[in-house]
Amino acid sequence: MHPNVSSTTPWIAMKDINERNYENCNFISEKKENLSMTNNHAYMTRNMYILMEKKEKTLPDVL
């Protein structure tokens, strides 16, 4: 396991990996005219995490 990745927060590691993939896809797509499925998947994945973060910030803590 990577020293900076905690086993209790695997989704944070996945989020970081997906964001890097998204950036790489954007970089690659700038050199292409047509977006591939990989670009679209990375974009959708990134948006999903953004929505999750917004929900976490806006939902009140109900205990």
pLDDT tens-place string over residues 7-60: 555 666 667 777 777 766 666 555 555 555 556 666 777 777 777 777 766 656
Measured at the CA of 58, the angle between CA 25 and CA 21, to 5 degrees, comes to 10
Give the separation between CA 43 and CA 2, rounded to whole angstroms. Answer: 25
Give the separation between CA 29 and CA 33, rounded to whole angstroms. Answer: 7
Spatial CB neighbours of 5, under 8 Å, sequence gap ≥ 6 = 12, 13
Q: What is the model's pLDDT at position 49?
A: 75
Strand ranges for the chain from DSSP E: none
